[in-house]
């Protein structure tokens, strides 16, 4: 995924962030942290 984020930066996106393993983040509600819901999911966000 980091390679994809780097490619987006080359395409003109000024700000690209990737958070891997989002199920481990504290700000995710407990009912969504169930492994079968978010296991292995990452969050990609940014602005152009």
pLDDT by 10s per residue, the chain, length 48: 778 888 888 999 988 888 887 777 778 777 766 666 667 778 888 888
Residue ranges per structural domain of the chain: 2-47
What is residue 33's predicted lDDT score, i.e. its pLDDT? 67
What is residue 38's predicted lDDT score, i.e. its pLDDT? 67
b/e per residue 18-41 (b: at least 16 CB within 10 A): eeeebbeeeeeeeeeeeeeebeee
């Amino acid at each position: 995924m980091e390679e994809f984020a780097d490619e987006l930066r080359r395409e003109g996106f000024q700000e690209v962030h990737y958070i891997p393993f989002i199920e481990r983040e504290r700000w995710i509600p407990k009912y969504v942290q169930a492994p079968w819901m978010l296991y292995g999911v990452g969050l990609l966000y940014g602005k152009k």
